[in-house]
Amino acid sequence: MKSVKGSLTACVIFFCVWFVLSNSYAERNLLTGQLSEEDLAEMLVSQKEFQIFPAYRDLEFWENLPEFYRQGLMTGRTACGFE
């Protein structure tokens, strides 16, 4: 009984390892054929153009910011010692 149980365990381990290894090297071209180089060039932004937040001098954005977010930013500025 022990040898059958050991053989069954060995088979299960072998198939699990085989499954993981066979699927881990699968070629994954998820975007190939979906977009052309021109489409990607239009969508991507250069590092110089990318900004996480609006520019500091964009007063219209900052003046229209909801009060909840404005208070959070002011609390962060105070905590960092900017005021």
pLDDT value for 14: 82
Residue-wise pLDDT tens for the chain (83 aa)?
567 777 788 888 887 777 777 766 666 666 677 778 888 888 888 888 887 888 888 889 888 989 999 899 888 888 888 76
Name the residue range of residue 63's domain.
2-25+45-79
Coil, strand or helix: which one is 57? coil
Distances, alpha carbon 76 to alpha carbons 57, 58, 65, in Å: 19, 20, 16
| pTM tops 0.85, yes or no | no
Query: Is residue 37 in some structural domain?
Result: no
At 24 the pLDDT is: 60
| CB proximity list for 61: less than 8 A, separation 6 or greater | 54
What is the rounded CA–CA span in Å between residue 80 and residue 83? 8
Q: How many independent structural domains does the chain possess?
A: 1
Instruction: Say if 10 falls within a structural domain.
Output: yes
Cα(79)–Cα(32) distance, integer angstroms: 47
In a domain, 63, yes or no: yes
